[in-house]
Amino acid sequence: MTEELFRDDAALLQCRARVLAADAQGVRLDRTVFYPQGGGQAGDAGVLQLDDGRVLQVVDTRKGDAPGEILHLLAEGTDLAGLAPGCELTACIDETRRRAHMRFHTATHLLCALVPHAVNGCSITERYARLDFHMHEPLDREQLTQGIARLVAEAHPVRHHWIGEDELDANPQLVRSMSVQPPRGQGRIRVLEIGGVDLQPCGGTHVANTADIGAVVVTKVEKKSAMTRRVILGFAETS
Ligand SMILES: [Zn+2]
């Protein structure tokens, strides 16, 4: 198991960690700031700094087969010398890439608040985010862009907290106010709350305030099928 530091502090850019194992599949660490691809959000890239001065490129981060397993994928042909189990190193994420993921990811929550329909697809990358809504009504690109801009300007705090399944059972109104049903069976659920705007279970990384999303625009609205409307977000051009 890897301690997932990014779950409680998305602003952490680096951490000291110990190697659990390293092979062609990837590097497993006892703790990490690298978010593994999941929940629609792309994995982190970055570097592993070895204490002998070598710097290894991490090109992507994925979940492994075992529960809680996180694989740091190294560039092809990387020499694994110096990555023996127990070795200490510093794991650093690519800040620019993660920052884009956090801004887009938080913006998709705003979109969920503006479009009250079920989401049946989501992809968050460094350059764009897309969300598929299960609906047949048309969506207006300009109206959505303005709605996002308003929620960004209102500077709502973004917080997460953990709740137990028993707490959820004792507060059925919480489930009703969530746009997504929480996953069951793991004992606790991570809930993302944008005060008065959106509340839903989410394990991704987000900015701390909607103001930090900055200038995001809806670049495209597409009719993917009779019952799917796709919304694509991009960063507004800034000089
Ligand atoms: Zn989220």
* pLDDT band, very low/low/confident/very high, at 131 (cuts 50, 70, 90): very high
| Sheet bearing 129-134, strands edge to edge | 119-124, 129-134, 228-235, 216-225
The answer to whether the beta carbons of residues 140 and 191 sit under 8 Å apart is no
Percent of the chain, pLDDT > 70?
Answer: 99
Centre of ligand 1 from the C-alpha of residue 226, in Å: 27
Residue 67 pLDDT more than 90?
Answer: no
Question: How many angstroms is it from 111 CA to the middle of ligand 1?
Answer: 11
Structure tokens that stand for 44 in this block:
């982190």
Question: What was the pLDDT predicted at 14?
Answer: 98
- Note whether 233 and 111 are within 8 A (CB): yes
More confident residue, 1 or 219: 219
Mean pLDDT value across the chain: 94
pLDDT at position 18 is: 98
The model's confidence at residue 239, banded by pLDDT at 50, 70 and 90, is very low
The band of 84, judged by pLDDT with boundaries at 50, 70 and 90, is very high
Based on DSSP, count helices (H) and strands (E) in the chain, helices before strands. Answer: 5, 15
Give 186's Cβ-side CA count (13 Å radius): 11
- 172 vs 206, which has greater pLDDT? 206
pLDDT single digits (tens) 145-157: 999 999 999 999 9
The rounded Å distance from CA 210 to ligand 1 centre is 12
Residue 214 exposed, middle or buried by CB count within 10 Å (0-12, 13-18, 19+): middle
pLDDT in tens, 171-190: 888 877 777 778 888 888 99
Mean pLDDT for 179-205 is 89
**Is the model's pLDDT at 73 over the cut of 60?**
yes
Question: 199 CA to middle of ligand 1, Å?
Answer: 9
Neighbouring CB atoms inside 10 A of 143's CB total 12
Instruction: Measure 202 CA to ligand 1 centroid, in angstroms.
Output: 5
Rounded-to-integer distance, Cα 182 and Cα 140, Å: 29
Rounded to the nearest whole angstrom, what is the distance from the C-alpha of residue 100 to the centroid of ligand 1?
A: 13
Interatomic CA distance for residues 92 and 173, integer angstroms: 40
Token output for 197: 């705007």
Please state the separation of Cα 119 from the chain's center in Å.
16
| pLDDT for 146 | 98
Please give the Cα distance from 5 to 83 (Å, whole number).
21
**Residue 176, C-beta contacts closer than 8 angstroms, at least 6 positions apart:** none
Ligand 1 centroid distance, CA of 36 (Å): 14
Torsion-angle region of 39 (φ positive above 0: left; ψ -120 to 50: alpha; else: beta) = left
Nearest Cα to 231, choosing from 129, 124, 149?
129
| Alpha carbon of 106 to ligand 1 centroid (Å) | 6
Q: Measuring CA to CA, which residue among 121, 127, 126 is closest to residue 39?
A: 121
Q: How far is the CA of 3 from the centre of ligand 1 (A)?
A: 19
